[in-house]
Structure 1
Amino acid sequence: MSALQKVLGALSDHGSTIKPNRGQYLAQCPAHDDHNPSLSAAQGDKGVLLHCFAGCQTDAILDALGLTPADLSDDAPDRKEKTTPKPKEVVAIYDYQRAVRTLSYQVVRYEPKDFRQRRPDGHGGWIWNLKGLSTEDRELPFMLPELAEIRKEQPDRPLAIAEGEQDCLALWKQGISSTCNAMGAGKWKDGHSKAVIKLGFTDIVIIADRDDPGKAHALAVRDSLLKNGYRGDLQTVIATCDDGCKDPADLIAHHGEEWTDQLGELVAGGVTTVTNCDTWPLTRENSPEKCHTTVTLLPEVSHLLPRLGILGEFSNALAAATQVDLEFALASALATVGLPVGLSVNVEVRSDWIEPAILQCLLIAPPSERKSPVLGVCMDPIYEAEREAREQRKAQIASAKAIEAELELEKANARKSGGYRDACERLENHTIPNEFRAILGKATAEALEVLAARQGERLARIAVVSDEGGAVFGDLGRYQNSTNWELLLAGYDGRRYSSERLSRASVLVDELRIPLFVMLQPSAWDEVKGDAAASGRGVLSRLSPIRPRSLVGERFGFGAPISKVLMARWAQRLTELFAQAYASDESIRLTLSPEAFGVWARFKDEVETELGDGTFERWPLRCW
């Protein structure tokens, strides 16, 4: 048997379709999911020449066929017994059916592990490729008819999306509706998302295998669902446990109902933490080794977007445009909205409890994370609103100064004509407004105090915004070689602030409000955390630090620009909030509805439990 015959025989046994073509043979490559034959096999001077036009290495092709490099040589001895591929045994056949239960194609699973796809030829046989099928047919979710039936019978039933058919079937046996795409990780298409969305599921949990391809696949499924209009609840978890299981099928086989009962609670109710360390195999990565108790939520907040209106829409578009993680974009947008809100809004938690809605947000990211572009896109409408307010104030100042000049002249004339006392009183009561300044970038303690004093004793409102937060905290946290965090503390609590300095005028403000939106590098954050006075005074527990996932190394090409319509809506909303913040010298008071109070109260109790039993040891929340 020649080397070429041996290779062609192995390809045929593998299920590849082989066609002669001008002195060579074209076949489906066994090393990748090949719908269009991309493998060339030709006779060379001393043996077989293999080339995959999709880029597969020769070693990978030989491995898939059970051959060795020696089998490509015409001079190799006959090693039939050693080179013949191990017989592949069919261990499972998975039907991919249309919603009306007609078969589109099948995935055949072999042992040793391998997968091939085939479709009916219309004569009782099979064609081992998906050529001729429509895109819709090739992108059918697994178990589609069963999913449609479940939706009719139980409209509120949630859906789990796993990586493979074996996982799905294991989940179905445990009473959890599940689906996947064919051929494993990386193959989820927009058609799958559209089919799931069309069925009407509003509560989806994506279960990622515990490996990098599995996590990447889960995030791709999430992004595809959102891109195609999914607006329900969405969570992403990692299937893992301390004994090495890495996918739902493994976990069910080893842990049975212990795992699926709690997964069912997660799917049904959004459970994110439990307290039983022995039976909870879904774990937070990097959690303390002594207690794996939390579901691993991948770095994503996408399930929040449908509930956030313009904030969610803008965040999604911002992430795409700047090529940053969605959490980065959403946190930045939230911090931006938090500025005008923090300048003016109080929340009445109860009749005897008023809480200022002041957010002091820190985004922690190293260089090259596009902090400045993100901040610029978010903040441009507020900067523009502040510029317009400054121009209006300048006109008011000019008018007030003109009136003052007239009153000075009136006072001078009154010396001769009478009415001097009244003229002096009018001049004394006349005030000239201070320059308008709502946002500081270089936030030294002195600058904040001066600006607060200019705004009067009743209410002082100053937003601090910077893409170089290290400088902000270096200036704000130090004053005359001693720690001085009192400004941040008072500015977060919206309370009275007073300062007596020998070198300048005293400052007294009944209500000081300082919302923050600053970005800083990890080293600067470490310095802030290391300040004993900041920790001891409670500064750290008031800050909201967020460290998003980095996409450096993944940002190829260019992001899609934010649409002009969406940008205009974002700008309009921020302008409205900014105008409301300065519409009155009094704070705006909002009350919690009973439903909102219930949500807040449950969250408070959950956090309190975690703080008390030691199962939640991430630093800022414990401090908070």
Structure 2
Amino acid sequence: MISPTERLLNKFPDATKTSNGWQARCPAHEDTNPSLSIAESENGGVLLNCHAGCTTQAVCSALHLKLGDLMPPTEKSQQGQQYHAKPSPITTYTYRDENGGVLLQSVRYEPKTFKQRKPDGKGGWLYCVTGVRVVPYCLPELLAETAKPVYVVEGEKDVQSLAAIDLLATCNVGGAGKWKPEHAEFLRGRCVIVLPDNDEPGRKHGEEVARSLQGIAASVRVVELPDLSPKGDVSDWLAAGGTRKKLEQLAEAAPQWTPSVEEQPSTPDHFMPFPVESLPETLSTFVVACAKSIGCDASFIAIHALAALAAAIGDSRCLQLKRGWKVPAIIWALVVGDSGSQKSPGFKAAVKPVRDRQTEEFKKFKNEQKFYELEKLRYEKDLGNWKKNTKTSDSSPPEKPDEPIAVRCTVLDITVEALAPILLNNPRGLLLARDELSGWLGSFDRYTGGKGGGDSAHWLSMHNGETLTVDRKTGDPKTIFVPKANVSICGGIQPGTLHRALGNEHRESGMAARFLLACPPRKKKNWTESDIDPAIEKKYADLWNKLFLLKPHFISKGDDDSGERIPEIISLTPEAKTAWVAFYNDHAHEQVDLTGELSAAWSKLEEYAARLALVIHCVRWASDDATLVSPEKLDLQSMLAGIRLVKWFKNETRRIYLQLGETEELRDDRRLVEWINCHDGTTTIRDVQRGCRWLSEPGVAEQAIEKLVKDGHGSWQPSLHDSHGGRPKKLFSLHRVDTTPENTAGKEVKSTVDTVDDPETQIVGDWMVL
């Protein structure tokens, strides 16, 4: 009789053997990197875990299996009935912001499971914490006692155990492996002692915490508690007789933590996932849903959306870092992607509210134009009559009707000369949104014979919202002066044209440095029935339109309508100012070691942290974020989000600049790594010969893979089986981090809301047991 595990593996001919079971692509979502872990339980059942969050029912449905097909044999399944009991809550841990407001709760259930929830604003709870701000546990206490050292532990129970002996402690929600850079920022300048649990996941978590605090905390010490039982924690240590005095002695005796020296691949060309969690909830929900619907990387939507939202804010707001430094809401975003990589659908989704608004404004303008033409005819007739009767009448001439002006919020392909009058009539600003920006970049200096001094110089100054003066040979007026040229830009470009479009001239002039760049690896396309919820789409559109209605301050200069538009100034809270100064200093220290083009890019990324924070702040206001400190004050949450986004863009800038200057050999290495990644991270020599035309010659593919092994990008391993009954294939696998769950049986388990509420599953470690 075939076992449940064998029955499941028959559905996955490409499954890869791991130390704890098998790894395969999840059939319930567009899975480019295997995220479904499969193992067999002691009673013969199946252990499943999709790291992307798909439920067991979704996986079974995609495979045309029933849950019963994965059950253990009957006699053992009777013993497993206890797994199906719905957990009951036993305690609640509340995460609060600086002012004590509730952000989320982590609810512990029996038997040993957790789920998170957030306030719904109506006195109830929503069991989804997407977009909720990332803060450490007991944040108000951390801020109230800044002189005390801080103990970082793995769980809330340990925090309370230490609080009981008057020690200040914190942790992150979700347990081991869930610590984020945002947590570290709250410990800036503090003396930190890390107390890892006594198991491999705990020690790894402690290393991650300590590493994230390097250059942030005043000191970091990692203390491994003596005589601690396997899988034990500080609560167990205290229960066994440990004391506060002994713990403080251990902490004082522990050396300063320093990172171990690890070998890195010779090509630091690693893409980091876009930090969607740094975006406000309405925006992050849209980005995630849109990316899932399209089947593209989240960055394809997110950075276009940030530029579009910046354009909506326009000249209505600016951020004051100090009296002489005011930051505009101007963002230039450029996505690098191959044709067919889904960058165009992501771009269109992000700018759809802008284009929809422009369509409506053009309709209004067309109607106004028709009315104007009628009024103009009437005026000309009345003017003629007035001229005839001017000798016999003292009446005033008829009033000339005002010609309507089209409201513009976006332009496509335009010269500076054509742009100037549009900006003059639309001082709020515009979004230049073009699917392929290579044509726009190539149009610079078109009418100056490539000698410079043309459009590119004007665009360089527009990145800062400076004045724009254009002298024209024809047209009225001959000279156009725009006090503040506010233009955000978003679009894409193909890798093949990247080097030409951002050639030496644009890199030396600083044009390239003004763009936020992203180049996510290509994903394999798979059909999906997923579609974006119209309600989510509408919330994003409403968000954009609400920002577009923001008004600047207006200084009148007389009885007429003339006057000066002044952006409303957003200032920093003291906490946000502290975070900005720390980022500024760290960033400046990084830039000292850089030269040339990368140094130029770093000089622009510095202010981009503040620009992005300003956009995040305004988006939170427009989303009615209850945690916003004040509409006029940019708080710590918004500043940390801007800093986190810039750190991601710094990594992307390094990657793309490396591509611009890479040798042919490095380019081929990168192309091969990207090709293997697109094929689930594993391959054979024969597959490479077939799929990579530049490696099709005999022996070349094997040499290229051996080079990746030597450089530390991956390793050889035998395959699980051969589908044709032949010898096992020699399989190359790229190195990944944390693709296989740790065996955490017996530990407290952090689970998702769906699995806790699912009566057909029970959580054991990181697995769903059927």
Q: After TM superposition, is the score higher than 0.5? A: yes
| Secondary structure at the counterpart of residue 279 of structure 1 | coil
Give the drift of 1:325. Answer: 1.7
* 1:433 partner letter: P
Shift of 1:368: 1.1
Q: Does 1:299 align with 2:273?
A: yes
Q: Give, in angstroms, the shift of residue 339 of structure 1.
A: 2.1
Partner of 1:403, secondary structure, is helix
SS in structure 2 opposite 1:526? helix
Structure 1 counterpart of 2:580:
600
* Mapping of residues 532-611 of structure 1, within 5 Å: 532=505, 534-550=506-522, 552-553=523-524, 555-558=525-528, 560-580=530-550, 586-594=565-573, 595-611=575-591
Q: Secondary structure at the match of 1:592?
A: strand
User: Per-residue deviation at 1:467?
Assistant: 0.9
How far does residue 465 in structure 1 lie from its aligned partner after superposition?
Answer: 0.3
1:603/1:327 Cα in 2 relative to 1: closer, same or farther (>3 Å)? same
Preserved CA contact (<8 Å) 1:346 1:590 = yes
Let me know the Cα RMSD of the aligned residues.
5.3
Give the superposition deviation at 1:516.
0.4
The 3 A distance-change label for structure 1 pair 490 and 621 is: closer
Partners of 1:471 and 1:299 in 2: CA distance: 29
Query: Which residue does 1:498 correspond to in 2?
Result: 469
Q: Could you say which structure has the greater relative contact order, defined with CA pairs below 8 angstroms and 6 or more residues apart? A: 2
Identity %: 15
Residues in 2 aligned to 1:456 and 1:394: alpha-carbon distance in whole angstroms: 20
Q: Do structure 1's residue 264 and structure 2's residue 209 form an aligned pair?
A: yes
**Residue of structure 2 aligned with 1:413, choices 385, 393, 408:** 385
Aligned to 2:495: 522
State the one-letter code of the partner of 1:452. A
1:134 matches 2:107: no
Shift in Å, 1:468: 1.1
Larger Rg: 1
For 1:10-49, list aligned pairs within 5 A: 26=1, 36=4, 38=6
Deviation of 1:206 (Å): 6.7
Q: Give the match for residue 242 of structure 1.
A: none
Contact 1:340-1:581 within 8 A present in 2 as well: no
- Secondary structure at the counterpart of residue 265 of structure 1: helix
Q: Aligned partners of 1:52 and 1:409: how far apart in 2? A: 86
Q: Distance in 2 between matches of 1:363 and 1:55?
A: 34
The residue aligned with 1:486 is: 457
Which residue type is aligned with residue 480 of structure 2? V
Structure-2 change in CA distance of 1:286 and 1:622 (3 Å): farther
Q: Is the 8 A contact 1:372 1:467 kept in 2?
A: yes
Distance between the aligned counterparts of 2:274 and 2:85, measured in 1?
Answer: 29
Aligned residue number for residue 165 of structure 1: none
Where do 5+ consecutive residues of structure 2 fail to align? 22-72, 88-107, 117-135, 140-150, 157-169, 186-197, 220-255, 555-563, 605-770
In structure 2, the residue corresponding to 1:574 is in which secondary structure?
helix
Contact 2:311 2:429 in 1 (8 A): no
Return closer, same or farther for 1:362/1:592 CA change in 2, 3 Å cut-off: same
Deviations 1:67-122 (A, max 9, x none): xxxxxxxxxxxxxxxxxxxxxxxxxxxxxxxxxxxxxxxxxxxxxxxxxxxxxx9x
Closer/same/farther in 2, CA of residues 366 and 54 from structure 1, 3 Å limit: closer
The unaligned stretches of length 5 or more in structure 1 are: 1-25, 29-35, 40-50, 65-120, 158-173, 180-199, 208-221, 236-247, 290-295
Contact 2:408 / 2:426 at 8 angstroms: preserved in 1? no
Shift of 1:389: 1.5
Query: Residues 205 and 615 of structure 1: is their aligned pair in 2 closer, same or farther, counting only changes over 3 Å?
Result: farther
Alpha-carbon distance, 1:563 to partner: 1.3
Whether 1:442 and 2:391 are equivalent positions in the alignment is no
- Offset of 1:607 from its aligned partner? 0.9
Alignment match, 2:340: 368
> SS of 1:515's equivalent?
strand
Assess, with a 3 A threshold, how the Cα gap between structure 1 residues 581 and 56 changes in structure 2: closer, same or farther: same
- Supply the distance in 2 between the matched residues of 1:348 and 1:501 (Cα, whole angstroms): 35
Q: Cα distance, 1:543 vs. partner?
A: 1.6
Q: TM-score w.r.t. structure 2 length?
A: 0.46
The 8 Å contact of residues 490 and 513 in structure 1, kept in 2 or not, is answered as no
SS at match of 2:443: helix
- Is 1:465 the equivalent of 2:410? no
Distance 1:588 1:398 in 2: 34
Deviation, 1:250, is 8.8
Q: Which residue matches 1:188? A: none
Give the 3-state SS of the residue equivalent to 1:485 in structure 2.
helix
Change over 3 Å in CA distance of 1:392–1:581 after alignment to 2: farther
> Could you tell me which of 555, 570, 592 is aligned with 1:612?
592
2:432 maps to a residue whose letter is V
Which residue of the partner structure matches residue 12 of structure 1? Answer: none
User: Structure 1's 297 and 368: CA in aligned 2 closer, same or farther, altered over 3 A?
Assistant: closer
Deviation at 1:437, TM superposition (A): 3.2
